[in-house]
Amino acid sequence: MNNAQPNSAPLNLPLIVIGAGGHARVLLDVLRSMGREVLMLTDHDPACHGKRIEGVLVQGGDEIVFKYAPDTVRLVNGIGSVALPATRQQVYERFTGEGYQFETLVHPSATVADSAQLGPGVQIMASATIQPGARLGQNVLVNTAASIDHDCVIGDHVHIAPGVTLSGNVTVGSTSHLGTGATVVQGICLGERVLVGAGAVVVRQIENDVTVMGVPARPVKRAATKSEPAKQTRPFNIMLSAAGRRVALLNLLRQSVEALGLTGHMLATDIARTSSAFQTAEFARIVPHYTDPHCLEQMLAICREFEIGLIVPTIDPDLVFYSRHRPRFEQAGTQVMISSPEAIRICNDKQATHDWLVKQDFPTMRQADAAAILNDHSDWRFPLFVKPRHGSSSQGAGLVRDLDELRVAVAPGDYIVQEVAKGQEYTVDTYVDRQGRCRCTVPRLRLETRAGEVSKGMTVRCEPVQALTRRIAEALPGARGVLNVQIFHDQETDTLRVCEINPRYGGGYPLAHQAGAPMAQWMIQEALDLPVDAEENQWTDGLVMLRYDAAVFVSKAEAGLASSHEQASAPAVRS
C-alpha cells in the first residue's frame, strides 16, 4: 500500500488553490499535513477577496493564476460539488488547456494500493481507501472515508462523496456524482453524468444522464436534449412557498411543467388559509412560520410526503431560511433554486445593498441612515425618498418633502434615506444559471404601481440597463435563479442608478414570462438537469401588461374563518 503517487513534473512546486469555499478549507488542511507550500487562494467571488481561509489569503479572481508560468506552480482544484461536478470540470479544463497542471493529493491517513492508478489532479481525502487494481481518471475527487474496492474504474471528473462504498469491479462514467453514504454493489456499471442520491443503494446498471435515489436506487429523472423530451418516471411536483396572492406565478409554473412535456402538481403553503393562491393550487398545506424551531423538519416532511421536486420561495423573509437549509432539502430530493445566504444578506438589507454597490463601483444614489440626516440635514435637499432598511413590497416607503414629514415617516423604526433619482424606473427580471452566468435580462418600465407591485408595465429593450444588470448579477456572490434589479435611467444624461436588488420573483414577473422569457420554465429545466434554452434577447419588446383584480370564492371553513370548533376540525391539507 502507498499514500501518494508521483506526478510527471518536479515535486513540491508552490501551489495555488482555485476556489475559497468549504472544500478548499479541507484541502488546505490536507496540504498542511503534507508540508506543502500554498501561495494563495483565488475565487470568482469578489466578496472573498482579501479574506484569509485557514490562514491563506484569497488574493483575487482566478485570472491571477496567469501571472505565473505553468512550469513554476501547480494548481489545486478547490471546487467541490453537491450535484453533477460540471464546475470542477470547467475549472480543470480551463487551466489544463493553458498548460497548467493540477496536483494529485493523497491525505496521509488515506490508503492507496500500490497497483491502483491515479490520474492527474486526483484528490484522495482523509481515511479514504483505494484497493488494488482500481483506476481513477483525471480530476477525480474521493472524499472523506469513501471506499473504492478492487478493479473499479472511475471516469474523469467524478465526485465520490463522503462515506460512499463501491464494491469490486464497479465502473463509474465521467462527470458523475455519488452522494454521501451511497453504495454500489459488485460489478455495476454507472453511465456518464449519473447522479446518485445520498444513502442510495445501487443494484442495477444505470444509463447516462440518470438521477437515482432510494433503497434500492430507482430513477428519478432522465436528462434530455432540446430535441428529446424529458423521460419522466414520476410527477414533478412544485411547492409555492408563502403563496399569498401569487396566483399568476402559480399558473405560470403549472404551464411551464406542461410545456416541458411533464406531469406534476402544485402545492401551495402558507401560514393562513386566507390566501388566494393557497385556495387555487391542487394541494395546500398550512405550515409554521419560518422562525418556528420545528419549521425545517415539518417542511422536509411535506417535501417527502408530496414528492416535491422544486420549491419556489416568494417573500424576502423566507429566503434566508431556504438558502441556509438548501443542502437538507437537496438530500430529501428537493431542489431550491435560490441564491446563496451571502447574496440574500446583501439584498435583504438596504444598507448592505448600498455598501456592496459602492464597493463594486456600481452606480447608485446617495444614501444615509435616517437618524444621521435628522441630526444634520444641511447638505441634503428635499424631497427625499425613505424606506425601511429591511422592508419589502414598498411597505413604509415614500417621498418626504421636508424635515417634519421625514420625522413622521421614519418614526416606526430603522429607516434609510436616499436622494431621489431622475429618469424612468425599470424593474429588470433576470435569470442566472447554476454556473453564475446571467442568461437573460428583461427590463420592465413601471407605468403604474399599486400596493408595492406593478399594475401596469411594459417591456422595453434598453441595452445600458441590461448591460448593467448583467454585471450586477454576475458579480453578486452566489446569485442563482430569478432576480429582479431596480434601476433608474435618465435618458437626457444617460445616467444609471441602481435602486434595489431582490433575489426572487418580482410581482410583475408574469409580463416577462408572457413576453417570451419563461424563467419559471428555465428554473424547472435546471432542477431536472435539462438543457436551459435561455437567450438574452428572445423576448418581445413593447409588450404591455394591464393587471386587474380577480377573486377566489371559498367557504368560511375553507378560509379558516369558521367558529373555533369548526376551524379546529378543518383539514390541514386540501386536495
Which residues have a catalytic role annotated?
Answer: 150
Measured between alpha carbons, how far is 221 from 236 in angstroms, rounded to an integer?
Answer: 9
Strand partners, 154: 136, 172
Cβ proximity of 79 and 20 under 8 Å: no
Residue type, 495: T
What is the dihedral angle through the alpha carbons of 440, 444, 449, 451, rounded to the nearest 10 degrees? Answer: 0
User: Three-class SS of residue 420?
Assistant: coil
How many whole angstroms separate alpha carbon 467 and alpha carbon 489?
Answer: 12
Distances (CA, A) of 136 to 150, 183, 249, 444: 12, 18, 46, 51
Nearest 10 degrees: CA dihedral of 367, 369, 372, 377?
Answer: 40
What is the SS3 assignment for 68-127?
Answer: CCCCCCEEEECCCCCCCCHHHHHHHHHHHCCCCCECCEECCCCEECCCCEECCCCEECCC
- What's at 521, amino acid-wise? Q
Classify 215 as helix, strand or coil: coil
Q: How distant, in Å, are the alpha carbons of 65, 75, 175 from that of 99? A: 12, 11, 22
Question: Scanning the structure block, which residue is given the C-alpha cell 448591460?
Answer: 467
Q: Tell me the CA distances in angstroms from 325 to 143, 178, 237, 310, one per residue in order.
A: 22, 20, 19, 14
Residues ≥6 apart with Cβ < 8 Å to 134: 113, 116, 117, 148, 149, 150, 151, 152, 153, 154
Dihedral angle sign, alpha carbons of residues 165, 169, 170, 174: positive
Beta bridge partners of 445: 426, 458
Question: What's the rounded Cα separation, in Å, for the pair 418 and 396?
Answer: 14
Q: Which long-range contacts (CB under 8 A, 24 or more apart) does 393-399 make?
A: 393/451, 393/452, 393/453, 393/507, 394/449, 394/451, 394/452, 395/452, 397/452
What are the residues whose beta carbons fall under 8 Å from the beta carbon of 334, sequence distance 6 or more? 239, 303, 308, 309, 310, 311
Q: Are 154 and 135 in contact (CB under 8 A)?
A: yes
DSSP state of 240: E
Other residues' Cβ atoms within 10 Å of the Cβ of residue 447: 15
> DSSP states of 332-378 as a string?
TT-EE----HHHHHHHH-HHHHHHHHHHTT--B--EEEHHHHHH--T
Q: With H, G, I as helix, E, B as strand and everything else as coil, classify residue 558.
A: coil
